Chain A
Amino acid sequence: MLGENEELSRLIINCLSRDLQGNSEIFACLALHAIANISGREMATSLLNEVQQLLVSGSHTSFVRKKAALCLLRLFRKFPEIFEAIDWAPKILYMMDDRDFGTALGVASLVTALAQVYPEAYYGAVTKAVNRLHKIVIEKDFTSEYVYYKIAVPWLQVKLLRLLQYFPGPADLQVFRRLNDVLAYIISHSAEVPKNVQHNNAQNAILFEAINLCIHLDPASELVDQTLGLLSNFIIAKETNSRYLALETMCHLAATGARNCLDSLRVNQDTIVASLKDKDISVRRRALDLLYSMCDQNNVRVIVAELLQYLPIADFAIREEMVLKIAILTEKFAMEYSWYVDVVLQLITVAGEFVSDDIWFRVVQIITNNEVLQEYAVATILTALRSPTCHETTVKVGGCVLGEYGHLIANMPGCAPIDQFTALHTKFPICSVQTRALLLTTYVKFMNLFPEIKGEIIAVFKQHQSVLDVELQQRANEYLRLATRDDGDELLQTVCEEMPAYPERESALLLKLNQKIADTEDKRTWIIGGKDANTEVAKAKAIRDAAIAAAGGAGTNGVPRPVAAGKGLLKTFEDKLQESNNPPAGSTEEADLLKAIELSKLDMPDGGLSETIQKPTTPAAAPTVDALGAGVIDYSLAKPVVKALSGGMDDSTLYSRLVTAANGLLHRDANLEIGLKTEYREHIGRIAIFFGNRSSHAITSLAAEIQADPKQVRVTLLQPLPSIIPPGTQLHQIYKVECLGVCDPLSLLNVACAIGDGISLNVPVNLSLRLPILLTKFVTPIQLPANDFFQRWKQIGGPPRESQAVFRPASGTVVATSDLAKIITSLGLGIIKYVDDSPLSVVGAGIFNASELGKVGCMVRLEKNEQYEMYRLTVRTTNEIVSDVLRAQIEECVALHI
């Protein structure tokens, strides 16, 4: 109710102040609570001293002191600059020895926060913390009320252990020995696993914190060696929490980069790799981080191979991170360049859509800067381009690299200029506009490198002279003019000179990864990544601090970005893309020419772009009686209602549910139950088919396969199915589905098996089930402003790219508009609002993704007529076949109201 910036909060400052100074403990506590929760800057400044007095005065009960400590901590977090932390240090440190454990805990939290900012002033905390720990752990100096599941004040122990991690190890030898005793005691007394969950938690919390402290003090010490045994037990433990924390701690260990740790971690490498397949995504993430941290020259091959193998079946949620990490590891530890190129290409093939631009920019950079690598890289990429599964990113890399270095392999068999050109150009139609633009640039470079294929290339340019997209059109025209000048290609040669090597840069990938590690209130004492990463971060931080200090001194506002010795600033990659896309404008003459071309272009007819945008006139709302006669399909008559026949459980009902749902049953009878789980991302999908044995006998010789049109859908089996299902169990197989072209709804799942009935063992069963691998599954929703929608709608125009149908619903009555919107959404389309004012229609848009056909924009308009109980559906897409198939599918869903 009362925010920190409200006027009113100023008025209560005096009240609060009175409460703080008063005698009542309850009032003081409430006031502290209020300050902690709602104080603004003004309140904090005026009450800070009083709060601090409460903490150190000693005349108050421990409860008030505890609250005061936490209130101070909160204020420090919010407004660190108003704190006179250094002056207060002795008093606050003195409070650490408070006899009351609760107060000590609060003060310890406060000191932890202060010590991160003022380490010198609070250095005294080390000795105090060690002594306190020694008292609790070894001298057992505590009263019984503080024992929690047989452990004395566990959270104070945890807090103190963590506090110590923010300081270097104690310099005083005696203190150091005491600390060592404490740690050794904790570690040696944690071997047995308590039964009680709370007890176990408390014990493990202390243990993990102690291990972290050991690692912080000296990763090569004997204590750490001892803990390694414990940790490796934990990562195979049944309890997930322990596995998770153990992996995290190991990650810390790997981050120190101490020899002995890495060696012993390597012993556990198999277990860690197995954790990548853990059921729990949190554990998988930790395992990934750990593998990333423990990787070095020696095991990089093994680890990268494992990661690559796991990548295709990893969750979508962590794939991007995995791809990034694999790319960094290969770059950092690659011993030979050919391996680097191989891995990155494999990465693009396996998980192309997760390869961010940064990654392939980096590849191109590295290839450009290493002459030795170029020939091999070009040859490999050309082979990759020829494979049918090649991803758009491969095309981009191919475009950049072939254009620059294609001539290096022109004499090899099968790599003649025309071969290179065809390899690229067959992929041209399925690429996005951006990639096509890049390819056009590649072609102009080819023209310079290989004059013999000039004819083909000019044909391509001519073809694109009047495409809809302005960028493509501009390039095609400019390049065409450049090619057909009659100065003997002199200009062309200047424009297409080989790219200069890039200045040595910091890897943008590392930057990206580090950016992800956001600032937190308590600083981390380490970060994920190998030793280098940790030292680098420390260095970068030092440089940045220096830079900020310098900027402050000079009184400038702009903080210079850190410039590591010998490394240039990182240019944004957009710049780079620009460079690679556009021929470098070297001389002014050239620039003028380009300008001239641009001017001349303005006169050209502009494929209908300048047409004014009009709202399409709303088609007559009521289909006339004429329409009823010929074109109207009446679902209520044509399709007898199947549902009533068999209690709603027959295969076709189950199928129709799956048309919109991602998961569900495919088939169910007394013996066998087949379920389906699907996950789609653009043109790729994963399908898991579950087979459950409901009978009391084993199902044998089970075989199942998906039958689909190989030209339209590519189905790959990822996880095969055992041939026997014991009674009462469920098994599954996993497929990867890739949509190549327009998939029609005729995919089948053929299942053959033998079911024992107790008398004769084998009753053969053959099933053929429709599988909903439908076009709509590969559609991703998009949101457009209404204006854009109209523009595109008009651009596509009427038939053949429009498909329309008028039909009656199966139930005989139309449903509410909101239900129609639900159907449209469930089919993967995004609802576009404010397009049509009529409450009787729904408008949607989406993108259909297919790897060979490319991306197809889909727009749908569904209207209903309540008077005649009919629907009219209009589908416009950029591809006429897609229009028809999509229309048919939506029509079916709407008519049957699935």
Chain B
Amino acid sequence: MGAKQTRSAQKYQDLTDKTGFSPEQIKNLHKRFQQLSDNEETISRENLEKIPALANNPIRKQIIDAFFDKRNQHQNEVGAFQEIGFEQFLMVMSHFRPPTLKTTEEEREAMRKEKLRFLFNMHDTDNDGTITLEEYRKVVEELLSKSGAIGLEAAKAIADAAMLEVASTNVPHMAPDDFYEGITFEHFEQILKGLEMESRMHIRFLDVDTMTMRCGKSKS
């Protein structure tokens, strides 16, 4: 018992350093991980797809894919996992940590970049470094996927208009024959500057072990 505890404490310490979560948060997330994985070591896409609350989410597939995306592990790898362990799970979750009072300006900038990178990876499915018109259309279509036929028709127009906006913001003077390849990461950062990602893209991670952590998957 004692040995096991020190081992897990050690592991948690590593994870704390790597991801920035506090030990209590890691413990809670680990509990959740074990719930999702049926007490196995890894989870697969099916485990996540079984969460009932996610069923209503229009971008469910993208979210699940993001967990299995190698790019989000910051190891300079590409491709997708088939299954992920707790550490990878935690790495993905760490993108959603909020800034604290002690976060300096540089850290905030880095945090914003990291979060924007996460979003960018979600859109850039073929990993060519740009979000092409097709990919962007797909994004908007997915967003409107729960809205039926109205959504699909307008999705194209919206995506086109959005792309046009990005292009005209970042490369204002294009000759009629120039072609705008796609949204690069810099352009992406530029257009989403106003949203202040570091203050918006976060969720509350519980410090305290409370009973509000309900089991999200069906108990079957």
Physical interaction between A and B: no
User: Measuring CB to CB, which residues of chain A are less than 8 angstroms from any residue of chain B?
Assistant: none
Binding site for A on B (CB under 8 A): none
